[in-house]
C-alpha cells in the first residue's frame, strides 16, 4: 500500500470548536429542561439529564461539523456482506413476527380474550430484536464456515 492511503484527514480547527460548542449547548438545554421538569430536585435532575445527553449531543455535533471532512464515504458500502446479512435477517424476522401476530390474533379472537395492548406490543418489539439478532448470527456463522 502506498503511504498516501494512510494519511489522516482533519477538519479545520474551527469545526472542532463549533462541534464542542453545539454539543455543550444541546447538553445544557436538555439539562435545563430536565431540571425544570423536576423543580424540587433541580440540580440532581439537571445533572442526570446532562450525563444522559452529553454523549449523543457531542456525537451529533461531530457528525454535523467534523465528519464531512474526516470520513470518506464508501462508494460500494451498500454492497457490503454484513449489510446483506442484516437484510436477510430482517426479512426472515419480519415473516416470523407476521406469523406470530396472526397466530396471536387468532388465539385472542377465538378465545375471546381481553388483554392490554402495551405488554403485547413491547413483547413483539423484544421478540423481533431477538429474532433479527439470532438470524444474523446464524447467517454469519453459515457464511464464515
Mean local confidence (pLDDT), 41-62: 95
84 with 64, same domain: the answer is no
N- to C-terminal Cα separation, the chain: 29
Positive or negative torsion for Cα 93, 98, 102, 104: positive
Last residue in a domain, options 26, 42, 70: 70
Entry pTM = 0.53
H-run or E-run covering 74: none
Distance CA 89, CA 127 (A): 13
Mean local confidence (pLDDT), 18-35: 96
Contact indicator for 124, 97 with CB cutoff of 8 Å: yes
Range of the domain at 14: 3-70
What pLDDT was estimated at residue 60? 94
Mean local confidence (pLDDT), 65-93: 84
Give me the chain's average pLDDT, please: 89
Report in angstroms the alpha-carbon separations of 94 from 26, 123, 128, 134.
36, 14, 8, 13
Does 3 score more than 60 pLDDT?
no
What pLDDT was estimated at residue 5? 45
Number of compact structural domains in the chain:
2
Amino acid at each position: 500500500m502506498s503511504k498516501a492511503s494512510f494519511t489522516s484527514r482533519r477538519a479545520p480547527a474551527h469545526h472542532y470548536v463549533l462541534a464542542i460548542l453545539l454539543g455543550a449547548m444541546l447538553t445544557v438545554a436538555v439539562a435545563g429542561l430536565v431540571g425544570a421538569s423536576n423543580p424540587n430536585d433541580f440540580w440532581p435532575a439537571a445533572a442526570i439529564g446532562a450525563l444522559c445527553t452529553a454523549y449523543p449531543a457531542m456525537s451529533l455535533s461531530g457528525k454535523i461539523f467534523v465528519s464531512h471532512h474526516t470520513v470518506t464515504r464508501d462508494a460500494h458500502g451498500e454492497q457490503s456482506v454484513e449489510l446483506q446479512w442484516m437484510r436477510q435477517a430482517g426479512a426472515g424476522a419480519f415473516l416470523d413476527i407476521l406469523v406470530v401476530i396472526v397466530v396471536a390474533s387468532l388465539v385472542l379472537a377465538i378465545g375471546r380474550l381481553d388483554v392490554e395492548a402495551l405488554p403485547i406490543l413491547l413483547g413483539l418489539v423484544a421478540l423481533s430484536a431477538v429474532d433479527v439478532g439470532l438470524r444474523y448470527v446464524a447467517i454469519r456463522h453459515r457464511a464464515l464456515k
